[in-house]
Amino acid sequence: MASLAILLKRQTAEKINEKITVQVKGRPYTVDFNKKNGGDYKKMKPKIKIVFLCTGNSCRSQMAEGFARYFGGDGMEVYSAGISPAGVNPKAVAVMKEAGIDISAQISKAIDKNILDQADYIITLCGDARESCPVVAGKVQKRHWPLEDPAGAEGSDVEKMAKFRAVRDQISKLVQDIIRELIE
């Protein structure tokens, strides 16, 4: 069945040198038909599903989702969620925009047990999320990045923005590191 779907989409995809995604046993696979990259429909790779969790899904997990979508490209399915969703923090949107990544369309979401059970990796970004994360399927790997909550920063607006930038930069490095690790 998957071969038929690939062959049907292959004709169109080859004409425009694109990537397509097909479902095989409920799991998405990316197929690259770009001839410049030696695209071969037989070399399918499953998308890696990552979920970033924090308390409010307003800062850290939103920035991590934005970086993972940016750096992971078509090879990843990325989600973020919170224990108690609190809306996306405008300062997080602003510092990500400075880094060239627009997260303004992302929304703050509650944890979805179905998404967690289908994930390859769950990364918690605060202690509350780590302690409150529901029990998930045994195949799911968990990681914890204990990052300070920039929303709790005190001081002037300049000092608060500096804290958001510092946490953003930590998240950028951590996301790039894990993507390198998972792809290699």
Reported pTM: 0.75
Element (H, E) at 171: helix 157-183
Could you say which DSSP state residue 99 is in?
A: T
- Active-site residue list: 54, 126, 133
Q: What pLDDT is recorded for position 126?
A: 82
pLDDT in the model for residue 27: 57
Burial of 159 (0-12, 13-18, 19+ CB in 10 A): exposed
Tens-digit pLDDT profile for residues 60-78: 999 999 999 999 988 899 9
Query: What is the predicted pLDDT for the residue at 11?
Result: 46
pLDDT digits (tens, 9 = 90+) for 35-59: 544 555 445 567 899 999 998 899 9
Q: How confident is the model at residue 23 (pLDDT cuts 50, 70, 90)?
A: low
Flag whether pLDDT at 32 surpasses 80.
Answer: no
The structural domains of the chain, with segments of one domain joined by +, span 2-46, 48-183
Q: Give the E-state strand segments of the chain in sequence order.
A: 19-24, 27-32, 45-46, 48-54, 76-82, 121-124, 141-144
Higher pLDDT, 30 or 176: 176
| Helix/strand/coil percentages in the chain, nearest 5 | 45, 20, 35
Q: Which fold has domain 48-183?
A: Rossmann fold (3.40.50)
